[in-house]
Structure 1
């Protein structure tokens, strides 16, 4: 297997693996001042995983590539569960909240356009949970978003 490596990157051009990823530089502006809601609103970051696995990514694959200890709780969730809290407009939303929903919808559209389907979502840990939304960009590289939610 390839080495397990995660990189946070805001701009990349992965011509060495045969794909054009300059679109990733467009992701960064969407992530500025964008927070994922939970008991503690947390920032969202772009991640890339250099892995050599075919889609779909399994829980075991993710555990291996993240170097997680066996006792760590990892569960796959539907990708829509990732988007639902940030793309749903509530009756009480003001202009700022509506603008943030629009920003999340634009981010979602950008990822769905450039990341090969299907995207997958995972929750890692308990209480302070890392949430990953990832999808294949090539045979050897996956990309997506990472954030944290607090659930007590």
Structure 2
């Protein structure tokens, strides 16, 4: 089961770049961790300092500009939207209680994490630049 989720996430993120002031690839994450996902748990699992700025947001809100087609998108952007829709759907179909954590400022580490059916934590991470 776990390998299937990891494979599906790898397939959904293959060649996909998170767009911000720079472009970063996605990495698949899997943690054999049964404790509830909290900000403190994210700090612990990712080795960020406990006082790092963190923002929790919803998956739909985080992907609002890349997984949902806009009138102003050109053909290339529409193709990218389709790839992000696959990632969005893969996350929704395979994980529950999905949370998005943005850790840091300017150079922000992003963790999109949810629970697997066997209660482990899985998802993807990337980086965004916001100045």
TM-score (norm 1): 0.77
1:101 pairs, out of 52, 69, 81, with 81
Alpha carbons of structure 1 residues 20 and 150: separation in structure 2 relative to 1, 3 Å = closer
TM-score (norm 2): 0.87
Q: How many residues align?
A: 130
Alpha carbons of structure 1 residues 26 and 122: separation in structure 2 relative to 1, 3 Å = same
Determine which structure has the larger strand proportion and give its number.
Answer: 2
Q: CA RMSD in A?
A: 1.7
* Unmatched tracts of structure 2, length 5 or more: none
CA deviations over 1:70-100 (Å, ceiling 9, x no partner): 2311221122222212112233322221111
CA deviations over 1:42-67 (Å, ceiling 9, x no partner): 1112111222213xx11112112222
- Give the whole-Å Cα distance in 2 for the aligned partners of 1:59 and 1:71: 11
Partner of 1:62 in structure 2? 42
How much has 1:130 moved relative to structure 2?
0.4
- Give the whole-Å Cα distance in 1 for the aligned partners of 2:83 and 2:63: 12
